Chain A
Amino acid sequence: MSKVKKGVRLDHISKIYQDPKTGKDFYAVKDTSLTIEPGSFVTLLGPSGCGKTTTLRMIAGFESPDEGEIYLGDEAINALTPNKRDTAMVFQSYALLPHYNVFDNVAYGLKLRKVPANEIKERVMKILDLVELTGMEGRMTNQLSGGQQQRVALARALVIEPSVLLFDEPLSNLDAKLRVSMRTEIRRIQQEVGITAIYVTHDQSEAMALSDNIIIMNKGVVAQMGSPQDIYYHPNSEFVADFIGEANFLQGTLERMDGSHAVLNVEGSSTRVPAKQGMTAGSSYTVVLRPESAVLRDEGGLPCQVTLSCFMGSYQNYHVKVGGTLVKLTDYNPKNKRIYQVGETCSLVFDPESVHIL
């Protein structure tokens, strides 16, 4: 695309809704500022009601922010109606026009822009080729499968060459297998076109697979923003740690500092973990331990007792008690490994570099 890529910037955006039951006002999005780099693929991730869809719809222009300003590139776009904004959205329900065929659905935006007929034809066919729907242009939309319908919706959004592509949970109406193949497809197309994309989902694996950056939202505010690795390995709160992947939380009291590491007392045992800034001796800290980053051994770590041991094929699933804390573990490739049974006492061992202090 010859167009100059544009990013999106939200400057202290708030959106207030009225609760239909109580009649009270509440913040759907509260004082949110974020910057989305041109050409990047960013996911808004969070539980339902966290404000992610509202944020997306404010960028598209379907909702107006009550406070703050939205910028597309350097241009403030608060006052622009959706049809004047250089964005295109892919909807959860596909939103294809049922009285048009595939070609006319894709050509809709170009016709509105008064593009000459032969150019429309050329551009629509090119985009249909990109989403691998060549030969389907004469079909009515109800003759297409869910995956094909979503490709048409994507083609329709791409063909008008917007500066920003918006996705509102586009895959949640598809079955699990199709979801996985479609998300690779979306990523491929976004990379090929090099367009800025903002993607809303509540599915963390989708967010991981697609994004350059993930923005995790909770209760109307941004909880954390960063690359998938960043968020997975260095979550900044229990909410983020728990929302992305599975997490165990161990409480420990700081005994002493040891260079760049801290020695914590966890359930009566001294444990060395990477330190974070401003730790004080005697204070209590939470350590995040991912289920796959620890293993069970006969000795050499935190003493524990097995309460669940379950073969899952690619991994062995353990629940162990470390003192009073339940820790969930996944031990991959369990074939030929020593399997611990329920009731056995053993030792929880992990590499200090694989844990993270909140």
Chain B
Amino acid sequence: MAKSQSAALDRKKLMADPVMVGTIAVLIAFLTLFILYPLAILLVDSFYGGTGFTLDTFRRIMAMPTFTKAIGNTLKVGFLVGVLSTIVGLLFAYVEVYVKMGRAVGGLFKVVSMLPVVSPPFVLSLSMIMLFGKAGLITRFLLGIYDNSVYGFWGIVIVQTLTFFPVCYMMLKGLLKNIDPSLEEAARDMGASRWTVFATVTFPLLLPGLGNAFLVTFIESIADFANPMIIGGSYDTLATTIYLQITGAYDKEGAAAMAVVLLSITLLMFAVQKYYLEAKTAATLTGKASRGRMLIDDRSVTVPLTILCGLAAFFVIMMYACVPIGALFPTWGYKFTPLTFKWFGQVFTRYHGLQAFRDSFVLSLIASPITALLSMIISYLVVKRKFRSKGFIEAVSMLAMAVPGTVLGVGYIRGYSGGLFHSANWPIFAEGGALHSLFPNGLLGGIYGSAAILIIVFVVRSLPTGTRSGISALR
């Protein structure tokens, strides 16, 4: 066939470029070692009981009430957070795309809906406790409630919704902008009220996109570790249970099996989202806007929507403002005056504070250019070149998006603490083995507990974001 000739020629051209071949080889090695291998080792650990295939580990963890409860908790939180984030995201996206409002108000809403994206993960949990906890500024000092508990289900739901709704907002904003305004005008022209237009045109067209946004936040919520850890109290989710299983009970096999369960849930949702809903969204919303949208300036619409968004915005701003302001109080919840900078001094002088700052900073400084470079190379290869392992590279770098941080963490512990494939136990590397002096911790075991593995984790975790934006920029 003529086609085989062009394939052969493509291969020949690629092989004539040693830099390219080398880059691809390094990429495949990196992705295999640091994404596929840690996940694979989890599967091996949880199904291999020393002698052969076994389901014992799964039977054991399924018998733990803490674990089965955590599954239920996680799904409950994830579902509610998914629904609420989608609603709040839709509200902000709709107001931005459809409603006429002053530049200042519109700008404020835009900032508020982007703020959580750039903030560190647990800032909102912290604010939540500071504002609404037992000694919360609002609960105790404003309302005089002394026994309010923010720890648990509602704490997690509120904080995660505020953290993740910007993702929905951005996805839905893009979709709403793609709806041809003349569709809605036509419906209106046929006699539909604004509400009917929304119910019969905008909403059905947006439905796959809403499902998409829901699943993405569902995954994010399930994968989240920091917020449930801080504000969950005794309400355990899968991510925190796995962490406690490994740090508290020191049950590595059990934790690995739990991680496999968590990973299966997120992967399933990721698959539905990626291959079913995304295709459907693209199918219904291919239209290009033929002319600008007439913004709604009807007060019966703008006033309630502005109030709703305003309330949400006020809440978000309050949450963020309380952190820098709270840092100035002598003792939060007890003594509010005079304002002091003493905590800032302490943070840098005590408990290795300065070192923690420096380490975080240096690690990020090393990890970000590596991530940028890798994402750039991957995007370039995926968009512009044709070669056989392209599908593998694209799929694995996107896979990292569906892998919760806790799962990856457990995978790294299992995968590298005893060297590659537990190689520290192999006779050749073990005490007295021929290569023990060269590799005391087995193959690659040396990176465990070092800065190197942290940097690798950082890179792997942010690779999907970088690759996704790189690909869409190049296409």
Contact = CB atoms under 8 A, between A and B. Distances in A.
A15 interface: no
Contacts of A91: 182, 185-186, 290
Contacts of A84: 191
Contact of B188 (A83, A93, A97, A156): A83
Contacts of B290: 91-93
B191 A83 contact: yes
Interface stretch (A107-115, A124-132, A237-245, A276-284): A107-115
B186 A95 contact: yes
B284 A93 contact: no
Given A62-B294, A99-B205, A99-B284, A93 B190 contact: no
B150 to A, nearest CB: 42
Contact of A109 (B190, B284, B287, B294): B190
B197 to A, nearest CB: 8
Given A62-B294, A63-B294, A112-B196, A95 B190 contact: no
A165 B192 CA distance: 17
B180 A112 contact: no
A160 interface: yes
A97 B191 contact: no
Contacts of B193: 83
A339 B459 CA distance: 80
A153 B186 CA distance: 9
Given A63-B294, A112-B196, A97 B189 contact: no
A214 interface: no
A123 to B, nearest CB: 14
Contacts of B192: 83, 108, 112
A97 B187 contact: yes
A92 B186 CA distance: 11
B182 A93 contact: yes
B195 to A, nearest CB: 11
Nearest to B196: A112
Nearest to A90: B186
B183 interface: yes
Contact of B186 (A63, A81, A89, A99): A89
A89 B205 contact: no
Contacts of A153: 186
Contacts of B185: 62, 82, 89, 91, 95
B233 interface: no
Contacts of A87: 189
A97 B186 CA distance: 9
Given A99-B284, A112-B196, A88 B189 contact: yes
A247 interface: no
Interface in B184-218: 185-193, 196, 200-201, 204-205
Interface in B149-201: 180, 182-183, 185-193, 196, 200-201
Contacts of B287: 93, 98
Contacts of A113: 191
A86 to B, nearest CB: 10
B147 to A, nearest CB: 51
Q: Which of A87, A91, A113 gathers most chain B CB within 10 Å?
A: A91
A99 B196 CA distance: 15
Q: Which of B183, B190, B196, B287 gathers most chain A CB within 10 Å?
A: B190
Q: For chain A, give the interface size range.
A: 20 to 34
A89 B181 CA distance: 14
B294 A97 contact: no
Interface string A291-335: 000000000000000000000000000000000000000000000
A60 interface: yes
A156 B190 contact: yes
Given A62-B294, A97-B201, A109 B191 contact: yes
Nearest to A63: B294
Interface residues of B, number: 21
Contacts of A99: 204-205, 284
A153 B189 CA distance: 12
Interface in A5-41: none
B190 A108 contact: yes
A92 B284 CA distance: 19
Given A63-B294, A91-B182, A93-B182, A82 B205 contact: no
Contacts of A63: 294
Nearest to A166: B189
A143 to B, nearest CB: 13
Contacts of B191: 83-84, 109, 112-113, 160
A83 B193 CA distance: 6
Contacts of B294: 62-63
Nearest to B197: A83
A87 B185 CA distance: 12
Contacts of A82: 185, 188-189
Given A95-B182, A112-B196, A88 B190 contact: yes
Contacts of A93: 180, 182, 287, 290
B359 to A, nearest CB: 49
Interface string A142-171: 000000000001001100100000000000
A160 to B, nearest CB: 6
Interface in A56-100: 60, 62-63, 81-84, 87-89, 91-93, 95-99
B203 to A, nearest CB: 10
Nearest to A53: B291
A101 B62 CA distance: 49
B27 to A, nearest CB: 39
A62 B187 CA distance: 12
Contacts of B188: 62, 81-83
A113 B284 CA distance: 27
A62 B185 CA distance: 8
B16 to A, nearest CB: 44
A83 B186 CA distance: 10
A81 B189 CA distance: 9
Nearest to A153: B186
Contacts of A60: 189
A83 B201 contact: no
A253 to B, nearest CB: 48
A96 B287 CA distance: 11
Q: Which of B183, B189, B200, B205 gathers most chain A CB within 10 Å?
A: B189
B298 to A, nearest CB: 8
Given A95-B182, A108-B200, 19 more contacts: A60-B189, A81-B188, A83-B189, A88-B190, A89-B189, A91-B182, A93-B182, A93-B287, A93-B290, A95-B185, A97-B200, A97-B201, A98-B205, A98-B287, A99-B205, A108-B187, A109-B191, A113-B191, A156-B186
* The 8 nearest A-B residue pairs measured at CB: A109-B190, A95-B186, A95-B182, A93-B290, A112-B191, A91-B182, A82-B188, A83-B191
Interface of B: 180, 182-183, 185-193, 196, 200-201, 204-205, 284, 287, 290, 294
25 contacts: A62-B185, A62-B294, A83-B188, A83-B189, A83-B193, A84-B191, A88-B189, A88-B190, A89-B185, A91-B185, A92-B182, A92-B290, A93-B182, A95-B182, A97-B186, A98-B183, A98-B284, A108-B187, A108-B190, A109-B190, A112-B191, A112-B192, A112-B196, A113-B191, A157-B189
Interface of A: 60, 62-63, 81-84, 87-89, 91-93, 95-99, 108-109, 112-113, 153, 156-157, 160
